[in-house]
Every structure is written in structure tokens, then in C-alpha cells.
């Protein structure tokens, strides 16, 4: 399997598959493919526990089912485009080296990957529209392609070193990094209901990737241009 990431503002990852090779993604992530790509929908991925794992993926922001895209008969091509302006990065997943990624981060990857819920915490309607804060846990073995919004700023945290981050800017981090939601009191802001400011505390060791475009900021920027419901 060969992969190539192209583009700038709205990048795309393209896979060239030899006969019998395949990639894993959610059904609505597909952008285009050659006719000799077979699609098979499955609830279990990478030995990920069937229906219960599928339910966990759905809770963590993914779909209830995943789709395997497999080349049949000859070399094939399949492509997956980013859904928001930003970047696509490749993460090498291996036993003992998994990643936690934001709820809509997983774009596509090797068949040996497993995607499940990693973190789920309610932060109130002001932060994420009442859906709470959720991270996906990416484990298994293979290459994963993750979509991050806007520009990417990365840090390598030493053991015990901490970083406080607005939850929406958390893009991805190695599973060796500890994570908790904390509240900074004394910050009054109507966006957060006046109860303080929610921040994610990331503690090393491990690598952290932050995204500059948050879902809330994107929704806020587009809101004036959305059609209004007539009453």
C-alpha cells in the first residue's frame, strides 16, 4: 500500500493498493476510487470487539460501522479528502504506541487499526453544543491518517511537563500523555456560562499536536451565512 497526501487548504490522502490490499475508513469519508475497489461494511475493525466497539466508536464521534476498501484483480486507487480547512498527518500506530485524537479526527488507515472511545466528559452546552468533550482512542498496528483543523502546532512534553489547552484545540496526542479537564475559576465569560474556563491539562511524557481551528470557532464564523428558520 502506498499513500500520498496532497493539497494545501483542503488536503486529500490517496492510497494506491495492490490486489488484496485494503484501507479502513467510515463510509461517508470516501471521495473517489477506481471501479475495482470492493467495499465491505463491518462493525468489527482490527479485532476491535464487534458491536460493543462499534457503539463506542459512535459515542466517540465516529460512525456505528466502518468500511473496508479492498483492491480486486489489479492495482486500485482510493482517496479521502479533509472535511474542514486544515492538515492531514500520518501517525504510525503500534502495540504500546497508540494515540488519542479529537472526535472527528480519524480519516482512514490500515486494516489493522482499532478505533474506540478514549475520553468522554460533559462540559456543558456552551463549549461543545451540549455534546460534551470526546476523544477517540486509536490502537492496533499500521498507519493512520488524521485530520486536524487549521494549522498544526506540536510540542514534545518531558516527564511531568504540563500544558493547559482549550479543549477544542486538542488535536492528537500520544497515549503516554496523561489528560484531564480542569476548570480555571475567576474567568467570567458568557460562552462558558460564567462558571469558569474549561482547559485540558496535558502532562508528559509524549508528543502533542494542537489544531488552530476549533469546531466552535468554525461554526461561529459560518453562522451568519446559514439560512435562518422561518417561524
Tens digit of pLDDT at every position of the chain (231 positions) = 999 999 999 999 999 999 999 999 987 899 999 999 999 987 644 444 444 455 554 554 455 578 999 999 999 999 999 999 999 999 999 999 999 999 889 999 999 998 887 765 555 444 444 445 788 899 999 999 999 999 999 999 999 999 999 988 999 999 999 999 888 766 555 455 444 478 899 999 999 999 999 877 777 777 788 787 665
Query: What pLDDT does residue 125 have?
Result: 41
Query: What pLDDT does residue 160 have?
Result: 97
State the Cα angle at 2 between 83 and 114, rounded to 5°. 60
Residue 231: inside a domain, yes or no?
Answer: no
d(CA 221, CA 215): 10
Residue 229: inside a domain, yes or no?
Answer: no
Residue 230: inside a domain, yes or no?
Answer: no
Query: What pLDDT does residue 43 have?
Result: 64
Query: What pLDDT does residue 118 have?
Result: 73
| Residue 51: alpha-carbon gap to chain centroid | 20
Contact criterion met (CB below 8 Å) for 61 and 134? yes
Query: What pLDDT does residue 190 have?
Result: 46
CATH number of the domain at 9, please.
Answer: 3.60.160.10
The residue whose grid cell reads 468489527 is 44
Residue 174: inside a domain, yes or no?
Answer: yes
Query: What pLDDT does residue 60 have?
Result: 46
Query: What pLDDT does residue 53 have?
Result: 53
In Å, what is the CA distance from 31 to each residue of 11, 12, 13, 17, 171?
A: 12, 9, 10, 16, 23
Residue 200: inside a domain, yes or no?
Answer: yes
The total of structural domains in the chain comes to 1
d(CA 2, CA 12): 14
Name the β-bridge partners of 4: 14
Domain residues for the domain of 51 are 2-223
Residue 75: inside a domain, yes or no?
Answer: yes
Q: Which residue in 106, 90, 41, 113 sits closest to 70, CA to CA?
A: 41
Query: What pLDDT does residue 170 have?
Result: 94
Query: What pLDDT does residue 49 have?
Result: 44
Amino acid at each position: 500500500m502506498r499513500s500520498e497526501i496532497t493539497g494545501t487548504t483542503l488536503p486529500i490522502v490517496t492510497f494506491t493498493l495492490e490486489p488484496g490490499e485494503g484501507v479502513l475508513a467510515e463510509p461517508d469519508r470516501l471521495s473517489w476510487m477506481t471501479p475495482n475497489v470492493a467495499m465491505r461494511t463491518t462493525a468489527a475493525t482490527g479485532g476491535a470487539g464487534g458491536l460493543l466497539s462499534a457503539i463506542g466508536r459512535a459515542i466517540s464521534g465516529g460512525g456505528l460501522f466502518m468500511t473496508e476498501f479492498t483492491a480486486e484483480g489489479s492495482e486500485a486507487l482510493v482517496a479521502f479528502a479533509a472535511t474542514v480547512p486544515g492538515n492531514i498527518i500520518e501517525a504510525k500506530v503500534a502495540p504500546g504506541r497508540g494515540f488519542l485524537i479529537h472526535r472527528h479526527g480519524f480519516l482512514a488507515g490500515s486494516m489493522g487499526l482499532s478505533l474506540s472511545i478514549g475520553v468522554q466528559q460533559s462540559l456543558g452546552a456552551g463549549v461543545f453544543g451540549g455534546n460534551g468533550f470526546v476523544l477517540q482512542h486509536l490502537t492496533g498496528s499500521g498507519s493512520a491518517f488524521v485530520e486536524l483543523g487549521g494549522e498544526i502546532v506540536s510540542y514534545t512534553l518531558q516527564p511531568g511537563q504540563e500544558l493547559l489547552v482549550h479543549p477544542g484545540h486538542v488535536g492528537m496526542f500520544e497515549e503516554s500523555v496523561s489528560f484531564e479537564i480542569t476548570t480555571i475559576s475567576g474567568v467570567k465569560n458568557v460562552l462558558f456560562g460564567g462558571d469558569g474556563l474549561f482547559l485540558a491539562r496535558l502532562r508528559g511524557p509524549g508528543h502533542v499536536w494542537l489544531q488552530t481551528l476549533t469546531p466552535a470557532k468554525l461554526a461561529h464564523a459560518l453562522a451568519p451565512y446559514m439560512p435562518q428558520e422561518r417561524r
